């Protein structure tokens, strides 16, 4: 937030981000606990260099529309397991991990951020809805573009949740096991998403 408030930029990473943070009075802290260091060491023994796959995930995305039709999207994550320092995934990048436009709709993404970013996933979904696609149709197109890039690599997961400006919602994922919560008024339901690649 300080970057957007006190600089002409939207995002800083790496040494430039550290320098800016110090100039704003933030203190450096060690964020890697001994427990996490041990977990990394055990994981690294079982996985080759560059294998960022880990069981489970922690990305949380929200796309909302209020009663006046304003649409917003938010996304938070700690990112890919054992990522390189300085790695920026799709979640913080507008148009990749999230995108919202009151005139078209909103979308959030989760999965392998690099693959989502390569197709500007959330922006693509919203733009297709602007052109008349339903959320499910737009998401299917975005997923198909990712699938086309990764061919038969079934370990790559990506998923999207979207709402169109008329209130129609949709979701889709490459792999199985993706769910989302849909709330309308005081009612919430958990929805299982049909995967593009079925296991078995």
pLDDT in tens, 63-111: 999 999 999 999 988 777 767 777 888 888 899 999 999 999 999 999 8
Domain with residue 80: its CATH number is 3.60.20.30
188: domain range? 60-192
The DSSP line for 71-114 is EEEEEE---STTPPTT---STTSBTTTEEEETTTEEEEEEE-HH
Residue range 19-45: average pLDDT? Answer: 87
Is 9 inside a domain boundary? no
Is 136 inside a domain boundary? yes
pLDDT in tens, 154-177: 678 899 999 999 999 999 999 888
Is 25 inside a domain boundary? no
Is 6 inside a domain boundary? no
User: Choosing from 15, 31, 59, 169, which is the catalytic residue?
Assistant: 59
Is 171 inside a domain boundary? yes
Interhelix angle 135-150/121-130, rounded to 10 degrees, is 140
Is 49 inside a domain boundary? no
As for how many domains the chain has, the answer is 1
Query: What pLDDT shows up at residue 163?
Result: 98
| pTM score | 0.77
Verify whether residue 188 is a known catalytic residue. Answer: no
Is 4 inside a domain boundary? no
């Amino acid at each position: 937030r300080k970057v957007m408030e006190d600089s002409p930029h939207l995002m800083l990473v790496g040494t430039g981000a550290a320098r800016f943070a110090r100039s704003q009075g933030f203190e450096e802290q060690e964020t890697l606990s001994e427990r996490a260091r041990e977990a990394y060491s055990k994981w690294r023994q079982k996985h080759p260099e560059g294998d960022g796959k880990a069981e489970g995930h922690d990305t949380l995305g929200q796309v909302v529309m209020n009663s006046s039709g304003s649409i917003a999207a938010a996304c938070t994550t700690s990112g890919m397991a054992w990522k390189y320092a300085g790695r920026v995934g799709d979640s913080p990048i507008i148009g990749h991990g999230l995108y919202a436009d009151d005139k078209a709709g909103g979308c959030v993404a989760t999965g392998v951020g690099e693959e989502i970013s390569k197709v500007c996933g959330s922006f693509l979904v919203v733009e297709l809805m602007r052109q008349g696609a339903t959320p499910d149709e737009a998401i299917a197109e975005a997923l198909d573009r990712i699938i086309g890039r990764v061919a038969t690599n079934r370990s790559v997961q990506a998923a999207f949740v979207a709402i169109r400006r008329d209130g129609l919602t949709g979701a889709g994922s490459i792999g199985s096991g993706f769910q989302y919560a849909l709330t309308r008024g005081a009612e919430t339901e958990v929805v299982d998403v049909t995967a593009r690649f079925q296991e078995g």
